[in-house]
Amino acid sequence: QYAPKKEDRFTFGLWTVANQGRDPFGDVVRPPLNPVRSVQKLSELGAWGVNFHDNDLVPFGSSPAEKDRIVRDFKQALNDYGMVVPMATTNLFFHPIFKDGAFTAVDPSVRAYALQKTMRAIDLGVELGAKTYVFWGGREGVDSEASKNPMEAVKRMRDAINFLSEYVLDNGYDLRFALEPKPNEPRSDTYFPTIGHALAFIYTLDHPEMVGLNPEVAHEHMAGLNFVHGIGQALEAGKLFHIDLNDQKGPRYDQDLRFGSENIKSMFFLVRLLENAGYTGPLHFDAHAYRTEDEQGVWDFALGCMRTYNILKAKAQRFDADPEVQALLHTINTGDSAHQSLVDQVRQGYSKDLARQLSETNFDVETLGKRGYQYEKLDQLAVEHILGTR
């Protein structure tokens, strides 16, 4: 029942399952995983597609002939195993040239090179069918605040996104951009640290309609924020173009844990929101297996991400269909019908007449202040659904 299927639109980054477990204190623990093998295994497990950074597929510095061979084999694998590439991105953080950032680096040669690398990576992504292009500002930030003017950094990022938007339009590509915020790591502070910062930035661009968000669970939790609310705001703005699902224990380093392995309650409400709001984009997992795992552990991890999503989806549907929940939500949201009509009119917009009606209305503030909202009961119902007793 919970087994992942292509229609579920689950995707993984090539970098996720191929993560070799290197961390700042220890070396790799798993051998490299060939992209073709990842495509095959993920397809067998029920995933719909894979996403990649240019260099996950074509190693940095490959010759044109090597690139052609790799891309040909990869296309063949996508075809053989019925997998798609909904999203692509650029690695602008691994090579030492990017140690001070890419689009916001102080060195103009680095900024220009970052544009060149991204144009080439966009071409590659589009060739493989990508419809969304992610910008995670890996090292766009500072260690020393003295190094950069934060206002200039915003302008440089805007220059880059505007230029690349025109590049996409000029080439007639069917591609939208999705900005991925993160508050810190690998730099001690990253520009555009949260969903809110990125969202506000989008409306200052030349083509705001082309640009949305790719929020990640772990990244917002690192900033101590409520991910469900961030996603709510992104959805309401029509800006949830993509999503990075994973999990995280509190505001620490970026853990990229198996989806739903830690914050089960908020992931329940996340899945419920995505499903009820009719989000139809890819459900992408940006996570990796524990460093203790061998290759089998990687596939256990990948299947676990997808199964947990489907389990939470089924639980959310049961919660919403529960008559007791429905009755309680109805009671909670109902009040004086005269006041209901007033706030309905507020939604329609201001009028002098409405302002007059509002100023002349008498409110029984004592009684309203005494109301009990029954949220303890409601929340317990949610907990019991999550725990599986209802």
CB of 220 to Mn ion, least distance (A): 10
Catalytic residue among 56, 100, 247, 254: 56
Q: How far is Cα 334 from Cα 320, in angstroms, rounded to an integer?
A: 18
CB of 254 to ligand GLT, least distance (A): 6
Query: Is 143 labeled as ligand-binding?
Result: no
**Largest Cα–Cα distance in the chain?**
78
Paired tokens of 230 = 């961030």
Q: How far is Cα 251 from Cα 20, in angstroms, rounded to an integer?
A: 24
Residue pointed to by tokens 């190094």: 147
Q: Cβ atoms within 10 A of the Cβ of 163, count? A: 14
191 or 319: CB nearest ligand GLT: 191
Q: Which of 55, 89, 118, 190 binds ligand GLT (CB under 6 A)?
A: 89
Nearby residues of 322 by Cβ (< 8 Å), 6 or more positions away? 381, 385, 390
CA dihedral 318, 319, 324, 329 (to 10 degrees): -140
Residue 180 binds ligand GLT (CB under 6 A): yes
Residue 220 binds ligand GLT (CB under 6 A): no
Residue 191 binds ligand GLT (CB under 6 A): no
Q: Cβ atoms within 10 A of the Cβ of 5, count? A: 12
Residue 192 binds ligand GLT (CB under 6 A): no
For Mn ion (CB under 5 A), the number of binding residues is 6
Residue 217 binds ligand GLT (CB under 6 A): no
CB of 246 to Mn ion, least distance (A): 6
Is 247 an annotated catalytic residue?
A: no
Where in 98-157 is the site for ligand GLT (CB under 6 A)?
134, 136
The CB-nearest residue to ligand GLT is 136
Q: How far is Cα 236 from Cα 223, in angstroms, rounded to an integer?
A: 21
Residue 15 binds ligand GLT (CB under 6 A): yes
Is 56 an annotated catalytic residue?
A: yes
Q: How far is Cα 39 from Cα 303, in angstroms, rounded to an integer?
A: 14
Residue 289 binds ligand GLT (CB under 6 A): no
Query: Is 286 labeled as ligand-binding?
Result: yes
Distances (CA, A) of 156 to 107, 133, 372: 12, 19, 51
Q: How far is Cα 38 from Cα 16, in angstroms, rounded to an integer?
A: 10
Residue 54 binds ligand GLT (CB under 6 A): no
For ligand GLT (CB under 6 A), the number of binding residues is 10
Q: Which of 140, 244, 247, 262 binds Mn ion (CB under 5 A)?
A: 244
Query: Is 170 labeled as ligand-binding?
Result: no
Query: Is 353 labeled as ligand-binding?
Result: no
Residue 306: exposure state from Cβ atoms within 10 A (0-12, 13-18, ≥19): buried
The three-class DSSP label of residue 179 is strand
Catalytic residue among 23, 27, 53, 95: 53
Query: Is 216 labeled as ligand-binding?
Result: yes
Half-sphere exposure (Cβ direction) of 295: Cα atoms closer than 13 Å:
9
Q: Which residues bind ligand GLT (CB under 6 A)?
A: 15, 53, 89, 134, 136, 180, 216, 244, 254, 286
Q: Which residues are catalytic?
A: 53, 56
Q: Which residues bind Mn ion (CB under 5 A)?
A: 216, 218, 244, 254, 256, 286
Q: Where is the binding site for Mg(2+), in residues?
A: 180, 216, 219, 244, 286
